[in-house]
A and B are shown apart, each in its own frame.
Chain A
């Protein structure tokens, strides 16, 4: 199985900060990397697919990059509604695997 490792596990930031989360795959996955946002009591929400494509309806302050084994999710100017946990997920092979999550908290 492909292992996905995110860093950091958590970070404390302020509104309007720029946030970058990294995700590393245990083997090359091309651009088969997705990012999800999760809030307590709600289903995960797809933000970015194919490493850098923005899902319909997601604000443009979210962006993704990378290929092969190293990927990033960037929030250009954090808004109050963005405090949540973010997960990367590889869709290169089954079983699909997720990173352990990055919790973005208010400083």
Chain B
């Protein structure tokens, strides 16, 4: 069974740091692009960052570029999101999601973790 389990969320003051983790199991982790997607309270889904199979390519939303860093350890089947200089507006549930792509069909996020809540507040 494919599983993604996030951890590392919590309450942090503005300007602080947190490191999120996403532990994967049930599939060959290194074969997939993985995304961090967040949902602020009462808001929609936003892709924060993504990383390719071996970590050689990453993207970031403008709102987090320069503050967040995505990485992965394929030997440990784990994805990370280092979040620095946190702002109140970073408060959200953060999900990791696997992107599946097959011949003849476009990419899609077919498996998601349960999410971890990050609250930035003084």
Contact B105 A38, beta carbon cutoff 8 Å: no
Q: Let me know if B26 is at the binding interface, CB within 8 A.
A: no
B31-53 contact mask (Cβ, 8 Å, vs A): 1 or 0: 00001010000001111001000
CB distance from B112 to the nearest CB of A (A): 4
The verdict on A96 contacting B47 (CB below 8 Å), with A43-B112, A43-B115, A44-B95 known, is yes
Residues in B neighbouring A87, C-beta threshold 8 A: 44-45
Contact B61 A95, beta carbon cutoff 8 Å: yes
B72-110 contact mask (Cβ, 8 Å, vs A): 1 or 0: 000000000000000000000001010100000111111
Interface residues of chain A: helix, strand, loop or mixed (majority): loop
Q: Let me know if A10 is at the binding interface, CB within 8 A.
A: no
Q: Let me know if A91 is at the binding interface, CB within 8 A.
A: yes
The verdict on A99 contacting B44 (CB below 8 Å), with A43-B95, A43-B112, A94-B59 known, is yes
A interface residues, how many (CB within 8 angstroms): 28
Interface centre among A31, A32, A95, A97, by most B CB within 10 Å?
A: A95
Contact B35 A96, beta carbon cutoff 8 Å: yes
Contact A44 B45, beta carbon cutoff 8 Å: yes
Scan residues 52-76 of chain B and give those whose CB is less than 8 A from a CB of chain A.
59, 61
Scan residues 16-63 of chain A and give those whose CB is less than 8 A from a CB of chain B.
30-34, 36, 38, 42-46, 49-50, 53, 55
Give Cα A55 to B110, complex, Å: 8
Chain B positions within 8 Å of A, measured between CB atoms, are 35, 37, 44-47, 50, 59, 61, 95, 97, 99, 105-110, 112-115
Can you identify 11 A-B contacts, CB atoms within 8 angstroms? Answer: A32-B107, A33-B106, A44-B112, A53-B105, A89-B109, A91-B106, A95-B61, A96-B109, A100-B44, A101-B44, A101-B45
Chain A positions within 8 Å of B, measured between CB atoms, are 30-34, 36, 38, 42-46, 49-50, 53, 55, 87, 89, 91-92, 94-101
